Structure 1
Amino acid sequence: MTLRMPKFPRAARLWPLLALVSYGVVQPALAPLRREPARYAAMKKPDYPLEALRAGMQGTAVLSVHISAAGAASRVTVYRSSGHPLLDAAALQSVQQFQFTPARMDGVARASWARIPIRFAIDSPMALPCPSTWLPWCQAGGTTHPR
């Protein structure tokens, strides 16, 4: 491979750097990706099933949610059961209606996965997932299901 000096003065000053990059001695610096996790936009408080309430069922269901680039919960599955199918079903039904602000990578909306805990407790007011609006388990731009 023969390298020739460029004719233009500015290009001539960059010539040594270009030669090093072309031979793989130096790699150009890439700007780090700017990632923003998905956020809650609208949440529906889960309905405590009357049968579960009468039976004294309590627990926390952790759901795995695929958030589309449009901000919809496109796929919701039980990641960890509350131990009661009635509570798991109520949590699933509620989270399917949540709206999200999608995760972003360098300003571009991306699909992502998140885990959302839904707590059912008889002696305290039913809490929505988190006091903050961010989803801590979010994987922006990922296509793999969280484990």
Structure 2
Amino acid sequence: MRVPGVVTKGSVTGPAILRVHISAEGTVLRTVLMESCGNTDLDEASLHAMRVMRFSPYTVDGVPVDVTLAVPMHIPKRLGRSH
């Protein structure tokens, strides 16, 4: 995942919460930001990272089905800052 080198557009206040719709084949069909981490650059990086992920299909009684999940993307508070 590419993330900004310097946190500039807000502080990180918590995880970015994403709603992710995954197909029966395991590909991400749609992502929505449900709750910001407090930084727009990191929110966008989280959405991008989720869009390119692939998952094992979720099955019900052995049959792959679409699924929608709420996914917290935890961002370290000191990301991009020197110590």
TM range (shorter): 0.7 to 0.9
Root-mean-square deviation (Å): 2.0
Tell me the secondary structure at the aligned position of residue 78 of structure 1.
strand
How many residues get paired?
78
Distance 1:120 1:113, change over 3 A: same
Separation in 2, partners of 1:78, 1:57: 17
Shift of 1:87: 1.1
Runs of 4+ in 1 over 6 A off after TM superposition: none
Distance 1:77 1:55, change over 3 A: closer
**1:92 corresponds to which of 47, 51, 63:** 47
Tell me the secondary structure at the aligned position of residue 57 of structure 1.
coil
Distance 1:62 1:100, change over 3 A: same
**Greater helix content:** 1
In our comparison, the structure showing a higher alpha carbon Rg is: 1
Separation in 1, partners of 2:37, 2:72: 10
Tell me the secondary structure at the aligned position of residue 50 of structure 1.
coil
Calculate the TM-score normalised by the size of structure 2: 0.80
Q: State the match for 1:130 in structure 2.
A: none
Distance 1:123 1:51, change over 3 A: closer
Q: State the match for 1:11 in structure 2.
A: none
Identity fraction in percent? 31
1:114 aligns with 2:69: yes
Higher RCO, 1 vs 2 (CA within 8 Å, ≥6 residues apart)? 2
C-alpha distance after superposition, 1:60-108 (max 9, x if no partner): 1011000001100110111111122111100000010111012111100
Structure 2 unpaired stretches of 5+ = none
